[in-house]
Every structure is written in structure tokens, then in C-alpha cells.
Amino acid sequence: MAGLIKDDPTQCMKCGFCMSACPIYKLDHIESHVARGRNILVQHPDKNNLLKEKIFEEALYFCLLCGKCEAVCPAGISSSAITLNARRDLVGIKGQTLMKRLIFRVIVKNRNFMALLARTVAAIPGFSSRKDAAARHFPDFVSGILHGMKAPRFRVPFLSRRVDEWSLPPAGVPVKGKVAVFAGCLFEFFLADAGKKIISALAESGYEVFFPKQQTCCGLPACASGDFETAKEMAVRNVTLLAGYDHVIVGCASCGSTLKQYGHWLKGKPISEEAASLGSRVKDFSVFIRDHLTSKDEVAEKIKVTYHDPCHLKWKQGVSAEPREILRELQGVEYVEMEGADNCCGLGGSFGIMHPDESRAIQSKKIESVIKTGADVVVTSCPGCMIQLMDGLTRYGSPISVMHLSDIVQTRGKTITHIQDF
């Protein structure tokens, strides 16, 4: 699977610039856990046999796929793509585990089945609250599986049940165009309130908003586990559903960076041109809404806000200024920059589950930076980062709230409430 830059490991200059940027290498100083080391390993003449070795497999998965190494690479190499290609080769030799096949090919790939499974869990007596229809005790149950990481509660009804397929501008607001929204799995099942606010903000800004309810996972989790074929099947489905709209708005940094790569994923397939076109029309919510905010109502309660840069937004998409510009313009909001705002939060998808100690060490540095700002709220543009920040702030006993950018944009004129919730 070709990356957006060069994914040829022979182009690695072995300069070591990646060592100064890699969050993992800063922790353990292990050569095979940094881009340069992996790029050398995947060129080994006996790579196929080497892939069978447990230590090589561990090296391939000791990566957050954050892309920060690519930002400092003089040769412009996409080491993330190189690592993903090696994971694909590993799966080709050793096969995928039964659990991962079940998760990616049966559950995640089938959004309706995934929703049914989630609703079933949420309906189990003792796992649900009728006031909120949220599975209150399920996160405690899975906390052991997640090595102590607190999981967010299912938000029933899910996003696709909370919004219509089409959301129109309010009466009297001129229609500027039609956009589609890609929600991703976390907005659908865990952060439905924020997902709905993305759609509301777009509609209020004058856009007819299409929310395709048959969309599926972006495919990144399957791709990151080496199951490229399942990831491509998900991509084909999403490309078909999202064709023909002026813009496709995404509120998840990881999903956005993934949709932009569909043209590379599906190169050579009949749908490749549509996939490339989709990638060019994908815009992060912050980029799109920055130029379409119509109201600057003052919030009822003045608050201090800081911002965390998601890796897949800054390093993969080059978006950093727009969220800050929005926050600085909101009346009643005092924006304060945190130290190391663009440092990784440590989640990295399944990395946080596979390597909890390293994930938590990176998380701790981020949480300390957040707390030092004295902010009331930390805002970010990625639901995965939100979950990691919520977990860390809860672990530190901090009252700081975590919000998606859409939360605070749509909270104008209202009192900011504490939404940190598991």
C-alpha cells in the first residue's frame, strides 16, 4: 500500500533525525523501535524468515504511526507506510489471529452488526442507565482487558439514530452547497453528542448535510493490523457512498488522513479515480468551519481553553492553525497554548492496549502539560485523543473537561458543562 510520500526503505539515509522526534524512542532508546531501525530491518536479505521471529513482530508493532518521523525526514520517506507494508507481509506469512479476523472482518466491517452487538451489550441489566441509555458498567468490565485504561460509555441511541440522513439549514439561511459527513466508529458509538454537533454546525452555516447511514469504518484499524484486503473493502464502500458531494467533512483526524489515502489504497482498481477524487474533497471540520462560522455569541461562562494537536491532523494533514484561530475568535474564551501541544498523547489506536506502560508514560507527559496551563477545557479534533485525554485526566484526578472542537463551537451562548464522562 503506497504512502502519500515515498515508501521505499532503501531511500532511508540512516541520518537519525527520526530519533529526535519519535515518542517511543525518547522513552526506551531502542533502535528497532524507531523508523531508522525498522527501515533497516525490513531490508534484511532474509526478511521472510526474520518476519517469523517474535522480536521482529514486536518491533513492527512498537510504533504509534503518528507520522512525526516523516515530518523531520530529510529524504521525505513515509516510514509509517513502510511499517504498514511490513505488517501486511507479516500477516501474509503468519496469518491473522482468529480474534482480529472476527473483529475486523465480521464486526467492524459490518456497521449494522456492530450496532446490534453494541445495543445488546447496552441493554443488559446492570450495564445500562435508562436516564442516559448508556452502558454504565460495561467500561469497568472491559477495563481489565484494556490494562486499566478507562473506556467511554456507549451512547445509546447511536449517532445514526440521532440525526436524519439529510440536515438542512435553518429557515432564512441561504444554501451554500451540499456536503457529506463521515463520522467514523467513535463518533457513532461513543461520542454521538459531538458527532451531532458537527452536523448541526455545518447546517447552521448554510449547508445541506448528508449523513450516509451505511458508511463503515474508515479501515485504518484493519490496515494497521496488516489486513489490507479488509481495509480496502471498507474503503470501496465509503467511496461509493460519499461520491458526488462538494466536500466530505470529517471530525476525526485519523479517519480524515485515512480517507485522503484511498486513492493510493485502491490504485489500479475500477474505483481508483473516485477514490482519488474523494481524497481531494476531504476536509477536517476545523478547516471547513473556520471560514463558515456565522455567530460569535459570547458564552455565558467565560472559560480558559487549551488545544491538543492530534498527530494525524498536524503531521499527516498539515492542519494546526485553523483550530487555534477558531478558539481565539470565540467570544468569552481565553485561549492558552500548552507546552508540547503537538506531542503525541500516546494512544495510537491499539498501541495503547498492546503497550500500556509506554502509552501511559507518553500520556502522563501530555496530561502534565494540560494541567500546567490552568485551563478549564482541553479541546482537540480527534475522538481517539479525546478518550486518551479523558482517561489521563481522570487518572490524575483533574476536573479539566475534554471537548471536541465541535462541542465548543456549538456551545456558544450556553454555559460550558463538564462533559468528561465514562
Pairwise CA distance, residues 418 & 251, whole Å? 21
Query: Domain check: are 329 and 273 in the same one?
Result: no
Query: Domain check: are 273 and 197 in the same one?
Result: yes
Q: What is the pLDDT of residues 275-321, one digit of tens each?
A: 999 999 999 999 999 887 755 555 556 899 999 999 999 999 999 99
Is the pLDDT at 367 greater than 90? The verdict is yes
Res 126: pLDDT: 45
Give the helix ranges, DSSP H, for 292-355.
Answer: 311-317, 321-329, 351-354
Query: Domain check: are 317 and 282 in the same one?
Result: no
CATH code at position 322: 3.40.50
Res 261: pLDDT: 95
Q: What distance lies between CA 95 and its chain's CA centroid?
A: 26
Question: Which whole number is the average pLDDT over 95-104?
Answer: 92
Q: Which amino acid is at 259?
A: L
Q: Is residue 151 part of a domain?
A: no
Is the pLDDT at 6 greater than 90? The verdict is no
Beta strands in 244-281 (DSSP E): 247-250
Query: Domain check: are 280 and 168 in the same one?
Result: yes
Q: What is the pLDDT of residues 154-213, one digit of tens each?
A: 888 899 999 999 999 999 999 999 999 999 999 999 999 999 999 999 999 999 999 999
Q: Is residue 133 part of a domain?
A: no
Pairwise CA distance, residues 222 & 295, whole Å? 40
Is the pLDDT at 344 greater than 80? The verdict is yes
First to last CA, the chain: 36
Query: Domain check: are 254 and 182 in the same one?
Result: yes
Give the pLDDT band of residue 335 (cuts 50, 70, 90): very high
Cell reading at 77 = 520517506
Res 120: pLDDT: 83
Q: What is the pLDDT of residues 15-48, one digit of tens each?
A: 999 999 999 999 999 999 999 999 999 998 887 7
Q: Is residue 150 part of a domain?
A: no
- Map residue 77 onto helix, strand or coil: strand
Query: Domain check: are 286 and 186 in the same one?
Result: yes
Q: Which amino acid is at 95?
A: G
Question: Which whole number is the average pLDDT over 119-127?
Answer: 66
Q: Does the predicted TM-score (pTM) go above 0.85?
A: yes
Cell reading at 227 = 489486513
Contact 222, 152 (CB under 8 A): no
Query: Domain check: are 325 and 284 in the same one?
Result: no
Query: Domain check: are 193 and 270 in the same one?
Result: yes
Q: Is residue 145 part of a domain?
A: no
Query: Domain check: are 180 and 273 in the same one?
Result: yes
Domain count, the chain: 3
Query: Domain check: are 309 and 281 in the same one?
Result: no
Res 331: pLDDT: 82
CATH code at position 79: 1.10.1060.10
Q: Is residue 90 part of a domain?
A: yes
Q: Which of 50, 70, 69 is nearest to 60 (CA)?
A: 50
Q: Is residue 118 part of a domain?
A: no
Among 71, 94, 117, which residue terminates a domain? 94
Among 77, 94, 111, which residue terminates a domain? 94
Q: Is residue 394 part of a domain?
A: yes
Query: Domain check: are 277 and 359 in the same one?
Result: no
Query: Domain check: are 190 and 75 in the same one?
Result: no
**What is the domain range of residue 76?**
9-94
Give the pLDDT band of residue 229 (cuts 50, 70, 90): very high
Highest mean pLDDT: which range of 7-11, 47-51, 341-345: 341-345
Q: Is residue 298 part of a domain?
A: no
Whole-number average pLDDT of the chain: 88
Structure letter (DSSP) for residue 359: H
Residue 307, φ and ψ in degrees, nearest 5: -130, 135
Among 94, 126, 151, which residue terminates a domain? 94
- What is the percent of the chain where pLDDT is above 90? 73
Cell reading at 364 = 502522563
